[in-house]
Amino acid sequence: MEIKIEGLEAKIGDTPILRGVDLTMKSGEVHALMGPNGSGKSTLSNVVFGHPSYEVTGGRVLVDGEDILEMEPHERARLGLFLAFQYPVEISGVTVGRFLRRAVEIRFEGQKEVRTKGFLKDLREAMDFMEIDQQFINRYLNEGFSGGEKKRMEILQMLMLQPQFSILDETDSGLDIDALAVVARGVNKMRDHDFGALIITHYQRILDHIKPDFVHIMYQGRIVTSGGGEIVTELEKRGYDWVRAQYGQEEEVHE
Amino acid sequence: MSNEAQTVHIDDYKFGFHYPDNSVFKTRKGLDEDVVKAISSHKQEPDWMLQYRLQALKVFREKQMPNWGGDLSDIDFDEIYYYAKPSEEQSRTWDDVPDDIKTTFDRIGIPEAERKYLAGVGAQYDSEMVYHNIQESVAKLGVLFTDPETAVREHPEIVKKYFGTVIPYSDNKFAALNSAVWSGGSFVYIPPGVRVEVPLQAYFRINSENFGQFERTLIIADEGSFVHYVEGCTAPVYATDSLHSAVVEIIALPGSRVRYTTIQNWSSDVYNLVTKRAFAYENATVEWVDGNIGSKRTMKYPSIWLMGEGAHGEVLSIAFAGKGQEQDTGGKAVHCASNTSSVITSKSISKDGGTASYRGQIKIEPDLHDVKSHVVCDALLIDEHSISNTYPYMDIQSDDVSMEHEARVSKISEEQLFYLMSRGMDEAEASMTIVNGFLDPLVKQLPMEYAVELNRLIELEMEGSVG
Ligand SMILES: Nc1ncnc2c1ncn2[C@@H]1O[C@H](COP(=O)(O)OP(=O)(O)OP(=O)(O)O)[C@@H](O)[C@H]1O
Ligand SMILES: [Mg+2]
């Protein structure tokens, strides 16, 4: 699968947030996306998934050559895209088990019989792998989950849904060291298959577990520079000041 | 005469079909003493019941219409048929039920439910119970389950002792109306210590147009007994309005437990104005599970009077108000003794401009101690133009009381929809999932069959709601 983002612009209300994002990613690759708070990383994920709050004002998002911007979020999901949310919402009254059974059924429509038959066994295995207690099967989705539990739940969903490409929005934030290793293990397990990911993060530590092939820096709604792992080291050392100095656009700084 | 049912498709209401009006006897439109006398004489009632009806008619005429709740100004009491007898005889086997009527209940699934999981079934068609049957094993325990007319004839001592004692005809205009023209319903008596483990069910069906159905239900659970009584209701879809105005009285004697479940699914032209009240004596428990999905306007607040120490009352109210519908529902608990507790849980859903209102009252009499009451009202709005209201009334005259009230109104949030859609659900399924989740804590307290039924009805209501 190839995802090609070209000149993507989007606004919320009257505020432009994405100002021409260009990014090409393929399954088999791991990309890291970094950038200061408010630079537009979550907005990019939301727009790629068709969140209704954002208005796309320019550009294209092509998946294997087909523009997906007119598709509903569920149609994009059914292409094999997955988004691990920065802030997963609580869905009261819907158990993890029931929800995942349905999501798996949709994802593997056609092969439904096979998939749902072994569903519970698959789920239990995936839960063990993610070190999530089996009792969570009967808990309401994300309701009352700790921050770390929510993040593990996102990765569990990814393992069950087997997407071809995932965007992981700060899945590492708020995780303790052990949880971080577990989450990274989940992502790496996906890499056995034809799978690509865009990992949005502020820290090097997750990238020590999941080696990115490319690193991009977003600033003021654009990808201002791309490179390899060395950029991360640079950032850890120097912070974002040099990015601001080099790529900041005067007229757009209102503060 | 044709046996072809005429199905009208309005809002996907599945039970909107009707058969030709084949009543064997019907009073003329409107209500006066002669109509009441005709009903009574048709039932060959003893004079005391006729006198009771006539008294009630007087009170009905004097009483004002309620000036709160839904708008009832469209009800024209002169345009209603108050009594229609569908067949000559009541049957004990489905084979003996006239074809149209039997087919109706087949389509609703009653005979099948009876075979599968019920201890007894009553089926009312317009004014009369056309079928009433109780499993032999249950009857052997001394359980009585009949229509109230039979009870008046065969058990006058019990009927006289309890009928109208929980809800006197002076209670409100519609209780008076019911007391004047009541017909059909159920009479249940459970002897001391007897536990009926599977439900008794009554099903109410309106077939005639411009019709008023006024069934009367009286349940007496003797000491230490248990019963679960379930009622369901549907009607055809007509262009004109019908009226359903029932009275349900429950007497839960010391140590007994009564659970009363309603799944109301009237068509969108039925005014549903029902008075339901229970007396719970020492250590008795009464639970009302009240699911209101259909009707044009419903006004119904099942109540429990906690009369003896240790009594406990619960009301679980579920309301769905769709287009043009107003569900004014809730519950009441009146604490008349110390060491009593009540829980009222209300969940309502409004969509397509519908209005769901919670109206509830907690009353605690003076000089009581250790009284607990907990009220939770949750409302879910599916869209911008639907409405939810909360009217909690409290009248607390004792000090040693623990009283909690929580109320929440939520809208289906864009973030929740987006989350579910990002996992592959289309928008309709995502909303349905959220609605089901909202109801889940309540629905899972229902026996499996009714939980499935309720979910199915709400799914039908939700269909096509998302653009
Ligand atoms: N729903 C919204 N309403 C108003 N402003 C919004 C909304 N969503 C995002 N924004 C604004 O868009 C900008 C980019 O936000 P976004 O969440 O994409 O940043 P981010 O790069 O993910 O930041 P962080 O690293 O803090 O997660 C911010 O200034 C934010 O306030
Ligand atoms: Mg973000």
Report whether B387 contacts B356 (CB < 8 A).
Answer: yes
Query: Encoding tokens for residue B224?
Result: 């230490």
**Res A255: pLDDT:** 44
**Res B393: pLDDT:** 94
Query: Encoding tokens for residue A175?
Result: 């995780």
Ligand (nearest to CA of A16): 1
Is any ligand 1 atom within 6 A of the Cβ of residue A27? Answer: no
Is any ligand 1 atom within 6 A of the Cβ of residue A87? Answer: no
**Res B199: pLDDT:** 93
**Res B1: pLDDT:** 37
Q: Which among A95, A15, A12 has a CA at the least distance from the CA of A47? A: A12
Is any ligand 1 atom within 6 A of the Cβ of residue A252? Answer: no
How far apart are alpha carbons A65 and A218 in whole angstroms?
A: 24
Residues whose CB is less than 8 angstroms from the CB of residue B91 and which lie 6 or more positions away in sequence, other chains included: B97, B130, B131
Size of interface A-B (CB pairs under 8 A): 72
Distance to chain B for A91, nearest Cα, Å: 7
Alpha-helix residue ranges (DSSP H) falling in B400-447: 414-421, 427-443
Q: A197-224 pLDDT, tens per residue? A: 999 999 999 999 999 999 999 999 999 9
Report whether B207 contacts B18 (CB < 8 A).
Answer: yes
How far apart are alpha carbons B390 and A168 in whole angstroms?
A: 42
**Res B448: pLDDT:** 83
Question: How wide is the angle at C-alpha B167 spanned by C-alphas B186 and B158, nearest 5°?
Answer: 50
Q: What is the mean pLDDT of residues A171-193?
A: 92
- Mean pLDDT by groups of 10 residues along chain B of 467 residues: 44 79 91 96 95 98 88 92 91 89 89 88 92 93 96 96 98 97 97 96 92 96 97 85 96 98 91 97 97 93 98 96 94 98 97 95 97 96 93 95 94 94 96 93 84 85 57
How far apart are alpha carbons B9 and B101 in whole angstroms?
A: 20
| pLDDT of A116 above 80 | no
Residue nearest to atom 11 of ligand 1 (CA): A38
| CA of residue A41 to ligand 2 center, whole Å | 5
Sequence letter at residue B27: T
**Res B315: pLDDT:** 97
DSSP string, B13-27: -TT--B-----SEEP
How far apart are alpha carbons B13 and B11 in whole angstroms?
A: 5
Ligand (nearest to CA of A218): 1
A97: burial class by Cβ within 10 Å (0-12, 13-18, 19+)?
middle
Q: Residue A173 CA to chain centroid, in angstroms?
A: 13
Is any ligand 1 atom within 6 A of the Cβ of residue A7? Answer: no
Sequence letter at residue A243: V
**Res B3: pLDDT:** 44
Report whether A226 contacts A217 (CB < 8 A).
Answer: yes
From chain B, the residues in CB contact with A91 under 8 A are: 416, 419-420, 433-434, 437
Q: What are the φ and ψ backbone dihedral angles of A48, each rounded to 5 degrees? A: -60, -30
Q: Which among A24, A29, A95 has a CA at the least distance from the CA of A63? A: A24
Q: What is the mean pLDDT of residues A139-160?
A: 96
B356: burial class by Cβ within 10 Å (0-12, 13-18, 19+)?
buried
| CA of residue A87 to ligand 1 center, whole Å | 12
**Res A112: pLDDT:** 52
From chain A, the residues in CB contact with B440 under 8 A are: 93-94, 140
How far apart are alpha carbons A104 and A116 in whole angstroms?
A: 7
Buried/exposed code over A22-50 (b: 16+ C-beta within 10 A; e: otherwise): ebebbbebbbbbbbbeebbbbbbbbbbbb
pTM for this structure? 0.85
> For B5, which DSSP code?
P
| CA of residue A85 to ligand 2 center, whole Å | 9
| CA of residue B383 to ligand 1 center, whole Å | 26
Domains of chain A, first to last: 2-87+163-247 (3.40.50.300)
Please state the domain extents for chain B: 25-300, 415-467
**Res A192: pLDDT:** 79
**Interface test with chain A among B345, B408, B416, B418, by most A beta carbons within 10 Å:** B418
Least confident of A104-113, A120-129, B252-261: A104-113
Q: Which among B235, B244, B222, B144 has a CA at the least distance from the CA of B186? A: B144
Residues whose CB is less than 8 angstroms from the CB of residue B146 and which lie 6 or more positions away in sequence, other chains included: B132, B154, B186, B187
Minimum-distance CB partner of B423 among A50, A51, A157: A157
Is any ligand 1 atom within 6 A of the Cβ of residue A40? Answer: yes
Residue nearest to atom 18 of ligand 1 (CA): A40
In 3-state terms, what secondary structure has residue A36?
A: coil
